């Protein structure tokens, strides 16, 4: 997709969202099935069914996708797509490259070994290796805008409230 095609696709949406801010709010969905055997959850990604299971550090055998890895993969995917869109809008050619994310997780927390150990990633590092002729200032702007507009990165940085509801059988259960 070139700059003109991207602009043609996005300009009507931008105008619509300026005119009607409510139309910019889209509820996205994900659902997992607990119907399989073992300690797994099957998630339909839109392109493939992914069966998630325990990481080896929490008792898994490594044969299933780990949700922690999937979180980092979502970050990489979002940052990569955002970078490509921003580069296209800026007219910056990125011939190729790589986006990487890694995170540190203390499994004592998720396994309940140490109640003071945190549950979840404590540090996440993301890096970009880009093949481009753009100068350093342009690349810095590209990365700054990528960070600003990357949905997954911003969600991790500024966590939204998460409501949890439970339905067991025919009735709702307080969580």
pTM over 0.85: yes
Q: How many residues does the chain have?
A: 175
Q: Got the DSSP string for 72-129? A: HHHHHHHHHHHHHHHHHHHT--EEEEEEEEEEEE-HHHHTTS-TTSPSSEEEEEEEEE
Give the residue extent of every domain in the chain: 3-158
Phi, psi at 105, each rounded to 5°: -130, 130
Q: Which fold has domain 3-158?
A: GMP Synthetase; Chain A, domain 3 (3.30.300)
Distance CA 104, CA 122 (A): 6
Tens-level pLDDT at each residue, the chain (175 residues): 999 999 999 999 999 999 999 999 999 999 999 987 789 999 998 889 999 999 999 999 999 999 999 999 999 999 999 999 999 999 999 999 999 999 999 999 999 999 999 999 999 999 999 999 999 999 999 999 999 999 999 999 999 999 999 988 877 777 6
């Amino acid at each position: 997709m070139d700059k003109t095609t991207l602009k043609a696709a996005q300009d009507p949406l931008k105008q619509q969202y300026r005119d009607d801010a409510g139309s910019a709010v889209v509820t996205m969905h994900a659902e997992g099935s607990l119907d399989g055997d073992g300690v797994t959850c099957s998630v339909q990604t839109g392109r493939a069914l992914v069966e998630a299971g325990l990481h080896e550090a929490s008792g898994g055998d490594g044969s299933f996708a780990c949700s922690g890895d999937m979180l980092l993969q979502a970050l990489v995917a979002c940052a990569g797509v955002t970078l490509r869109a921003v580069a296209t809008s800026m007219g910056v050619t990125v011939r190729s490259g790589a986006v990487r994310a890694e995170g540190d997780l203390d499994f004592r927390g998720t396994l309940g070994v140490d109640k003071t150990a945190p549950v979840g990633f404590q540090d996440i590092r993301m890096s970009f290796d880009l093949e481009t002729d753009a100068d350093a200032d342009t690349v810095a702007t590209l990365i700054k805008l990528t960070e600003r507009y990357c949905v997954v990165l911003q969600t991790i940085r500024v966590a939204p409230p998460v409501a949890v509801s439970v339905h067991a059988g025919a009735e709702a259960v307080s969580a």
